[in-house]
Structure 1
């Protein structure tokens, strides 16, 4: 394997000069730097990251720990994280925990044992015992989606306010009844961290108190389509479905088309997240949107700052907006 000593010999310079060129450090002329980089490429030089990490105490790796990427919002966020991390010279590990609290802890320990510099976490665990577990790992952690506590930096939208704004938008369209679809609240393990869905339900309940003239139903069933099918008086009022995720809204849109129910004439429909796939849907889906790229950038920037020993905010709030569509 070619090392920096061999490159220095071929270029007629010192190993220190080679090191400055390869690591983009000052103290070297542009012409010499170009020559060294050209020779390094020609001879197939690959840096010894293990040896380098022993000196720098950094592996230039970070991890994303999330429960799944079935919902496009999470795969889009993972992509945004990887893009920003790559710009800063970091390699990203993606780990899926499948909503299993013990598996999540096992994977986090696995990543720490392999010396990742930091972790971006959307946790399914919560509570003081889990906080202590993370604290004892001595690795920088930032969170999104599901908040753990004020101790761990949290970067996300204001879920509660976003749902309040969505209800206000539907109220302005003169709907008489809102049916809120939030299956994420019906988890098999009641100890799971579902902070995000809980905040959205909190916002819905708060908003309905402000609009007492509207009726409301909350559906948490995983088989929510069957539950909707059993609502006998669905067509007797001006009703809208508000979904805590676009994926639920897409299911209901399919259901309505199969039943011959016209949207928005016979019922309204609104999603949440503004995932990329809804751009292909007709009619266009009304939803709540926010910048996924901004979330990814803020997560990586905050984690890298924390890795480098800098103080970072405990809460970074990403703005949201109502995306008007043809379904309301």
Structure 2
């Protein structure tokens, strides 16, 4: 197998000159570069990509960290990122953190050590520790699909307005006892999205002059099992909801199952609305009414912004908010 020593010997130059020619250094003449490259091609030698990347401090590789690739929401975001990166000649290293904070930090270190040019990060929980770690790494970063209170560029939707619209839709159908299944609202596991969606829900009820029932407010973990457990608790209480707003489709799917397992029907007895518009919404029974996030576009825009930053372009905005849409199906009905 040909190596750099063979190229140097045939070109009658030093190994250092061959290396500098491959890295397009200005102190090697164009004529010498062309001769070295032609010799390398003729004997089948290709320079080490990692070695060249270390020299140039650029790998044309981005790191992508997601919390749970089994969730269809993240799959669509990843597609948008990968397609966009491919169009800009970037490779993507995908890291699935399994919703584990320690695993996220291990991946951040690993990606930094591999000299990725930047990181797209999506976590259900972006904490002060995340902020400090990324700040210390000094690596270009964009958050995809999650808002943050920290000074970091993110691409998302207006979660407050989207939750307000979802709740208001249930109110327009005549519902007054509307429950919510939200994510963490305080402490280390707080998410800005969860808080904004919860506040949007409460504001819609307040604007309609409706009561916020503490018994109809439950926390879960964005998974179907969590949504099922939370809805079951609501339906077993003294004050039962006529409608449930789950702030993720997976939790909404769990809630629908809980409705049937509790001896009720959806939507005849209890309406359910979700959030995200994953593909499963169309195939479950009843098909799920939900807030559609532009998942693919979130990924694509995040990738475009990161490529711009890496290329030295100024990105003035601190956030990009994309449009959401209420998708009406058959899981909600009028009282």
TM range (shorter): 0.7 to 0.9
Shift of 1:246: 0.6
Q: Distance in 1 between matches of 2:66 and 2:110?
A: 15
Return the TM-score normalized by structure 2.
0.77
Contact 1:178/1:240 (8 A) holds in 2: yes
Q: Residue in 1 aligned with 2:110?
A: 110
The alignment's C-alpha RMSD in Å is 3.1
- Partners of 2:44 and 2:209 lie apart in 1 by 71
Q: Distance in 2 between matches of 1:270 and 1:276?
A: 15
Contact 2:184 2:190 in 1 (8 A): no
Residue 290 (structure 1) shift = 2.1
Say whether the 8 Å CA contact 2:131–2:150 is kept in structure 1: no
**CA offsets per residue over residues 96-148 of structure 1, 9 Å max, x none?**
33344343223212210110110011243422x54333222121001134434
Gaps in structure 1 of 5+ consecutive residues: 10-14, 20-35
State how far apart, in whole Å, the 1-side matches of 2:212 and 2:152 are: 38
Q: TM-score, normalised by structure 1?
A: 0.79
* Aligned counterparts, 1:12-31, within 5 A: none
SS in 1 for 2:314: coil
The partner residue of 1:251 within 254, 268, 272 is 254
Aligned 8 A contact 1:181 1:243 in 2: yes
The alpha-carbon deviation at position 193 of structure 1 amounts to 4.3
1:281–1:114: structure 2 CA closer, same or farther, 3 Å change rule?
same
Contact 1:176/1:215 (8 A) holds in 2: no
Match of 1:230 in 2: 236
Q: The residue matched to 2:77 in structure 1 has which SS?
A: helix
Whole-angstrom distance in 2 between the partners of 1:46 and 1:275 = 44
SS at match of 1:180: strand
Residue aligning to 1:185: 184
Aligned residue among 314, 322, 326 for 2:326: 322
Cα displacement (A) at 1:93: 1.3
Distance apart, 1:166 and its partner CA: 0.8
Structure 1 segment 224-303 matched on structure 2, within 5 A: 224-234=230-240, 239-303=242-306
Counterparts in 2 of 1:185 and 1:143: CA distance versus 1, 3 Å? same
> How far apart are residue 56 of structure 1 and its match?
3.6
Does structure 2 retain, via aligned residues, the 8 Å contact 1:101–1:192? no
Shift, 1:2, TM fit: 6.1
Q: Unpaired segments of 5 or more residues in structure 2?
A: 11-17, 23-37, 221-225
What is the count of residue pairs matched by the alignment?
A: 294
